[in-house]
A and B are shown apart, each in its own frame.
Chain A
Amino acid sequence: MDYVLGLGDDALVAAQRLAQWCARAPELEEDVALANIALDQLGAARLLLTYAGELEGAGRDEDALAYLRGDREYRNCLLVELPEPDFAVTMAKLLFLSAYQKLRYEWLAAAGDERLSAVADKARKESAYHLDHASLWTVRLGDGTPESHRRMQDAVDRLWPYTHELFEGDHAALRPQWLSLVTAVLDEATLTRPADGGWAPGGGRQGLHTEHLSYLLAELQVLHRAHPGARW
């Protein structure tokens, strides 16, 4: 169940962060794009959380899992919960996350669990499209003006340590493929790939999060906590 929750929570928290750009993105088309990507993530999150609830067998549905768990019960990676003070951070995050999700969904689509495989088979195509979008922006900003280059490189450097957590445990074998996807984009964007071997924070999969997740969940859950069982 924790495995499926990890996938679902990654998607749910990423959706919430992306939705925070709504009406604030640098241009109208980007507003629509980020909301669309958030919707794809939310769609995958709903399917995955529903499945996680069924695996648990305690009667919790997608809403119970999304709205009524505390931060210690969330299993998302730290990368998705980090705040996005700059558009370049959003794009670096989306680049790292979508490359990872694409590889992981492709792997799951071919793996043994029929239910997960069906969800992943749909989501992998959506992730590939997100990756395309993040790649275009990374190149545009990295290979842009001195200011956009500086901010894009800064975002890549800041987030890089958090990418190690994505490949903990069973998925270590995916990192070389991920590196080749990401490095090709960074090269084209004239950005420097940070060196490995430094600080590698983790703990998200065990429920040990940064303080940023608590604030994010407060906003995500406030309505449901104030009005339990509220429905549209």
Chain B
Amino acid sequence: MNVYDVVAAVVDPELRVVTIADLGILRDVTVDGERVTVTITPTYSGCPAMDVIRADIRQALRSAGYADPEIVTTLRPAWSTDWITDDGRSKLAAAGIAPPGPSRGPIALTLGVRCPRCGSPNTEELSRFGSTACKALWRCRACAEPFDHVKAY
């Protein structure tokens, strides 16, 4: 496995069904001799998972034989939910987490969230803030199931 694939396979600690590459928070991996430099970006300014992500990247690289990588955090270009890959969106939906809509515009539209269980568009927001900084809590009016929604950001 090449170095990029090793890092890209690291799983997000809060959304365990997607990798950091699926989420779009892995920005770059460069190799200079033995030295690996990984560039990542936070989803939200205060994302508490960043330390765990750094530790997981170190661990994955160490297991693949790359000691002491440099991990750089960049804020530019700013992450938005548009960075989540199509593959990442399908994985979220398959795990019962409604993926975000497009974030374009000054305030992202949260209309039209489909229930990840039954596919019904008849859903409602229960709480604008959910179990992690990137999610809101929704409920399906058709099948009555509550579900997490990655809010468009």
Residues of A within 8 A of B (CB): 29, 32-33, 36-37, 39-44, 46-47, 118-119, 121-123, 125-126, 128-129, 132-133, 136
Contact = CB atoms under 8 A, between A and B. Distances in A.
A133 B127 CA distance: 10
Interface in B52-93: 75-76, 78-80
B78 to A, nearest CB: 5
Given A36-B129, A133-B128, 12 more contacts: A32-B131, A33-B128, A39-B44, A42-B46, A43-B45, A119-B45, A121-B76, A121-B78, A122-B42, A122-B79, A123-B45, A129-B153
Contacts of A44: 45-46
Contacts of B130: 32
A109 to B, nearest CB: 9
Nearest to B132: A36
Interface size of B as a range: 20 to 34
A122 B45 CA distance: 7
Interface string B31-51: 000000000001011111000
Interface of B: 42, 44-48, 75-76, 78-80, 106-107, 126-131, 133, 137, 153
Contact of A40 (B46, B126, B127, B137): B46
A125 B130 CA distance: 17
Contacts of B46: 39-44, 46
Contacts of A123: 45
Nearest to B126: A29
A229 to B, nearest CB: 18
A40 B46 CA distance: 5
A77 B79 CA distance: 29
Contacts of A43: 42, 44-47
A39 B46 CA distance: 5
9 contacts: A32-B129, A36-B129, A39-B44, A39-B48, A43-B47, A44-B45, A46-B45, A125-B153, A129-B153
Given A41-B46, A126-B44, A126-B45, A118 B129 contact: no
Contacts of B78: 118, 121-122, 125
Chain A CB count within 10 A is highest, among B80, B126, B129, for B129
Contacts of A37: 129
A123 B46 CA distance: 10
A122 B75 contact: yes
A40 B75 contact: no
| Nearest 8 A/B pairs, CB to CB | A43-B46, A43-B45, A29-B127, A118-B75, A33-B129, A39-B46, A36-B129, A118-B76
